[in-house]
């Protein structure tokens, strides 16, 4: 039997080829005990001659992000490391990269973060980026700004961000997460299964169908998603379908947008175009045209 591997698709990344031509981007699987709860670890390093702005249409996932901007051998005041928990982003995520930097991220499966921070519903983090100590109080730093200052946080940041070897960084991420859970949570297991169903089964285009398949009432389904995913089931359905539209637009050939709208569960092409444009900032046709330019 072959070893499992992290997914290789670029769903959600706007103009992925441009990003991947500028940065070193890798994914790694966590320790076996963590795999039921995590999608993967993602590592990015860069040394850019000129600034570059990247855009991502977020997944319905919480991320824990360890980051350092500036050369690792530079003055600490010029490149202080930091860590944050990034709740589900409701809009387009935009980040300007320049000079040198390093990011080590943990992407949780939708529904998989709650067992590591069981004191709060996952909706508490939605649309927010908060210092690591808010969900993980034992990493609190005296300044209260999420940056290292000779505390437990400093130790974690050094372990995750200092090694040049990927395996050492992965080991440090494993150690951090295993020290914080996961706590057994059957509701989290159910939430993860249902989101996987939405992602894999393209016939799930309505909340009512998901409720019937789950055996839950629509109201119970809403409560489960609020507490363990962070957004409602309708939002998850639409986001995965929008990811698919984005991927189709990147193929080079102009899709049949009217047919795709019906296929993805939109009432008409206009609704797909509206959602795509509001999220990505370009109409589907304009985005596809840009992808076809060498």
Q: pLDDT digits over 31-68, tens only?
A: 999 999 999 999 999 999 999 999 999 999 999 999 99
Task: Output the six-digit token pair for 11.
Answer: 């769903």
Distance CA 266, CA 68 (A): 41
Q: Quick one: average pLDDT of 64-81?
A: 74
Q: Quick one: average pLDDT of 87-111?
A: 95
Respond yes or no on whether the N-terminal peptide bond of residue 182 is cis (omega within 30° of 0).
Answer: yes
Residues in the chain: 294
Of 88, 83, 129, whose CA–CA distance to 110 is shortest? 88
User: What are the structural domain ranges in the chain?
Assistant: 16-178, 186-291
Of 30, 34, 27, 66, whose CA–CA distance to 163 is shortest? 66
pTM greater than 0.85: yes
Judge whether 258 and 269 are in contact, CB under 8 Å: yes
User: Is a pLDDT exceeding 50 seen at residue 293?
Assistant: no
Q: Quick one: average pLDDT of 16-22?
A: 93
Q: Selecting from 3.90.10.10, 1.10.1240.10, 3.40.50.970, 1.10.10.60, what CATH number does the domain 186-291 have? A: 1.10.10.60
The pLDDT confidence band at residue 9, using thresholds 50, 70 and 90, is: confident
Of 6, 165, 146, 142, whose CA–CA distance to 65 is shortest? 146
The pLDDT confidence band at residue 76, using thresholds 50, 70 and 90, is: very low
| pLDDT (0 to 100) of residue 268 | 86
User: Is a pLDDT exceeding 90 seen at residue 219?
Assistant: yes
pLDDT digit string, tens, across residues 125-150:
999 999 999 999 988 765 555 554 54
Of 56, 44, 48, 66, whose CA–CA distance to 15 is shortest? 56
The pLDDT confidence band at residue 73, using thresholds 50, 70 and 90, is: low
User: Is a pLDDT exceeding 90 seen at residue 254?
Assistant: no
Distance CA 94, CA 114 (A): 26
The pLDDT confidence band at residue 124, using thresholds 50, 70 and 90, is: very high
Which range among 137-151, 248-262, 273-287 shows the weakest confidence by mean pLDDT? 137-151
Task: Output the six-digit token pair for 248.
Answer: 């189709």
Higher-confidence residue: 87 or 290? 87
pLDDT digit string, tens, across residues 140-180:
765 555 554 546 888 999 999 999 999 999 999 999 999 99
Higher-confidence residue: 225 or 15? 225
Q: Quick one: average pLDDT of 222-251?
A: 92
How many CA atoms does the CB half-sphere of 274 hold within 13 Å?
A: 6
| pLDDT (0 to 100) of residue 15 | 87
| pLDDT (0 to 100) of residue 82 | 92
């Amino acid at each position: 039997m072959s070893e499992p591997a992290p997914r290789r698709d670029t769903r959600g990344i706007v103009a992925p080829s441009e990003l991947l031509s500028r940065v070193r981007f890798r994914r790694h699987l966590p320790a076996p005990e963590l795999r039921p709860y995590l999608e993967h670890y993602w590592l990015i390093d860069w040394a850019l001659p000129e600034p570059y702005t990247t855009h991502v249409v977020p997944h319905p996932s919480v991320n824990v992000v360890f980051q350092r901007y500036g050369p690792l051998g530079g003055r600490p005041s010029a490149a202080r490391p930091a860590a944050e928990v990034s709740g589900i982003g409701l809009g387009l995520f935009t980040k300007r990269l320049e000079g040198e930097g390093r990011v080590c991220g943990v992407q949780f499966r939708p529904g998989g973060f709650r067992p590591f921070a069981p004191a709060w519903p996952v909706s508490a983090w939605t649309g927010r980026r908060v210092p690591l100590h808010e969900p993980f109080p034992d990493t609190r730093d005296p300044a209260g700004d999420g940056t290292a200052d000779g505390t437990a946080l400093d130790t974690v940041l050094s372990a995750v961000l200092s090694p040049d070897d990927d395996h050492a960084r992965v080991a440090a991420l494993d150690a951090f997460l295993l020290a914080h859970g996961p706590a057994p949570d059957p509701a989290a297991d159910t939430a993860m299964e249902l989101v996987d169903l939405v992602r894999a089964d393209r016939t799930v285009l309505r909340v009512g169908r998901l409720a019937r398949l789950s055996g839950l009432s629509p109201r119970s389904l809403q409560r489960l998603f609020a507490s363990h995913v962070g957004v409602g089931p309708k939002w998850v359905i639409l986001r995965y379908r929008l990811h698919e539209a984005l991927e189709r637009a990147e193929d080079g050939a102009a899709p049949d947008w009217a047919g795709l709208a019906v296929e993805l569960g939109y009432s008409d092409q206009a609704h797909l175009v509206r959602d795509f444009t509001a999220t990505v900032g370009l109409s589907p046709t304009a985005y596809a045209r840009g992808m076809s330019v060498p």
